[in-house]
Amino acid sequence: MSAMIGDQDENMLSYMMDLQVEECRRRRDFCKIRLFFRSNPYFHNRVIVKEYVIHITGYKACHATPIRWYPHYACEACGLRQQRHSPNFFNWVSDHHCSGSGQIAEIISRDLWPNPLKYYVKSKASQEESHRRAGNE
- Beta bridge partners of residue 32, listed in sequence order: 22, 51
Helices then strands, each counted (H, E), the chain: 5, 4
Note the pLDDT of residue 86: 59
Pick from 67, 32, 76: nearest CA to 51? 32
8 A C-beta contact, residue 30 and residue 38: no
Q: Which of 63, 133, 54 is nearest to 97 (CA)?
A: 63
DSSP, res 87 = -
Cβ proximity of 81 and 93 under 8 Å: no
The pLDDT, as a whole number, for residue 66 is 87
pLDDT attached to residue 28: 64
- The list of the chain residues with pLDDT below 70 reads 1-4, 6, 25-28, 77-88, 96, 120-137
Q: What is the pLDDT of residue 135?
A: 55
pLDDT value for 61: 83
* 96, amino acid identity: H
Distances (CA, A) of 107 to 51, 61, 89, 110, 112: 14, 14, 12, 5, 6
For residue 3, the model assigns a pLDDT of 61
